[in-house]
A and B are shown apart, each in its own frame.
Chain A
Amino acid sequence: MYFAGVDIGSTMTKVVIVDEDGELCSRIVGPTGAEHRRLANRVMEEALKQANLPFNQISYVVATGYGRVNVPFADRQITELSCHAKGVSSLFPNVRIAIDIGGQDAKGMKIINGTLVDFVMNDKCAAGTGRFLEVVSDALGIKVEDLGSISLRSTNKVKISSVCTIFAQQEVVSYLSEGTPLEDIVAGLHEAIAGRVVRMVKRLKIEPDVVLTGGVAKNIGVVKAVRENIGLEVLVPEDPLLSGALGAAILGKETVLKALAKGELIPKKERRLEEATFFT
């Protein structure tokens, strides 16, 4: 049996397929476009190809993320908080605090014995999310993926006084015009985003193990700054983007196995395959 998790984030769409032992058979990441539906299909198709499986072999599909309602072939939708908590605990069984910094929001989750017990979230303000880094890296004329390595060269990071992303962008430009080294500006930006996220997560009382996920966790500079702000080791999965999709796939697997064990029907919505033309 195979189980798929589809995580449609604001910026990236992720698909994971696992087998009944929880082994990863496939993982695909693609940018989320304006048309979620077509994209969900395309990314799913790629994942199936990678796993060398036909769609009817997938016993259960769980969709999550903010675009989860736009996955017409999903058997069930589950919120991203539950999926993240599940995905992170499957990778790090001792996780207590999971922090996810995505393209358009940031979440802190308290997890005890693999169960989500509390959370904090910011989806109201671009500061403290991946969007902050996207906007300012644009002003600096560098790629988001280069920020991390650039910041590691810094010896004297600047203080970004603006919380607001729009004003930070202006502040960055004025630092540039003063001749401040790029790496010191970038390190200051990482400190700003890490400080803001950690202040929010502190409401959950931070204790180890701490795990950082989401696209921003791919930035080594932010990971370092989060570590310094928390004062604890911060664990990052090999592929930090996938924890939500992985959790979705595992939750799907659990749903099916539980139903089978009890001899009950598998709780399913109707797969609206007419939207998913490529499966016919």
Chain B
Amino acid sequence: MAWFMGIDIGSATSKGVIAKDGDLVGHHVLPSGTNYKMAAGKLREELLSKASLSQEEIACTIATGRGANNVLFADQQVADIICCARGINNIFPSVRTVIDVQDQSSQVIRIGEEGRVVNFATSEKCAAGSGRFLQVIANVLRIDLKDIGPLSLKSENPVIFTTGCAVFGETEAVSRVAEGNSKEDILAGVHKALAEKICALAERLGLEEEYAITSGGGLDIGLIKAIEGKLGIQLLVPPYPQLVTALGAAIIAAEKCPPKEE
């Protein structure tokens, strides 16, 4: 028996899974903080204890994400786009286009048979095109991240954000609050603005059925509906959108590293 670990160190959260034969046996998510090495170590501890395994039982570990080189115990690093494509292929084999909305960037990945990456487009590191825009505005409105999706869906008259910058957008949100616009309408406006940036990326790359959304963006029903509406598509949402890339890493680990000799 061999277990494999995938560690995905993102700019906001660190995600880890332990998999066996492509099935999730344990997973954990924690904030990355400012010390990625510490986050990676803590993540491993949590994963092992949740799965009641010892380090020796992990045959291979693949690290991915922005902070992959801080995972000192990993056997190898693999780009997050490759891991994300493999992960989604394991969950939804029919998906050909993945919209991956992370904290610091968004990417659209076209995938072929067996989760191969065919092409991809990544946004610049611009907060207005990534999940960070939502966090900034949620902070202005003093609402919890998990509430923004359901609140946004209640909007009847989304405000229009005229700027393409999250810093200026923050100022705009404050002005809209002062003018008496509802939280719902402001959130729906942000979702619309963000969806437009992401959809521009998708349209540049070209779309192919079926579609899925991954990473933190997949936890936000308001964003999902905004993207679906703008592109006229349906998005499949994996049960744990944040874990897809880490799962892909664990699957790649199983292929790259044959089980260690006893």
Contacts and interface: CB of A to CB of B under 8 A. Distances in A.
Interface of A: 34, 104, 124-126, 131-132, 135, 162-167, 170, 173-174, 177
Given A104-B168, A126-B168, A163 B34 contact: no
Interface string B118-139: 0000001111100010001000
Contacts of B178: 34
Contacts of A177: 34-35
Contact of B166 (A34, A104, A162, A166): A166
Given A166-B132, A167-B132, A174-B34, A125 B164 contact: yes
A162 B66 CA distance: 13
A257 B167 CA distance: 44
B64 interface: no
Which residue, of B126, B127, B166, B167, has the highest number of chain A Cβ atoms within 10 A? B167
Given A125-B126, A174-B34, A177-B34, A165 B167 contact: yes
A12 to B, nearest CB: 16
B34 A173 contact: yes
Contact of A126 (B35, B125, B167): B167
Contacts of B157: none
A196 B243 CA distance: 36
Nearest to A124: B164
Interface in B93-138: 104, 124-128, 132, 136
Given A166-B132, A174-B34, A177-B34, A124 B165 contact: yes
Contacts, number: 43
9 contacts: A124-B163, A126-B167, A164-B124, A164-B166, A165-B166, A166-B167, A167-B125, A167-B127, A167-B132
B85 to A, nearest CB: 25
A186 to B, nearest CB: 19
Contacts of A170: 11
A125 B126 CA distance: 9
Nearest to B163: A124
Contact of B167 (A34, A135, A162, A174): A135
A123 B13 CA distance: 32
B196 to A, nearest CB: 14
A163 B166 CA distance: 12
A131 to B, nearest CB: 6
B164 A163 contact: no
A167 B35 CA distance: 16
Contacts of A162: 125
A93 B198 CA distance: 47
Nearest to B133: A166
A141 to B, nearest CB: 16
Nearest to A176: B34
Given A167-B104, A173-B34, A131 B127 contact: no
A163 B124 contact: yes
A162 B126 CA distance: 8
Which residue, of A125, A131, A173, has the highest number of chain B Cβ atoms within 10 A? A125
Contacts of A34: 178
Contact of B125 (A104, A124, A132, A164): A164
A135 B136 CA distance: 13
A162 B104 CA distance: 10
A163 B125 contact: yes
Contact of A166 (B34, B35, B136, B164): B136
B168 A166 contact: no
Interface string B160-199: 0001111110000000001000000000000000000000
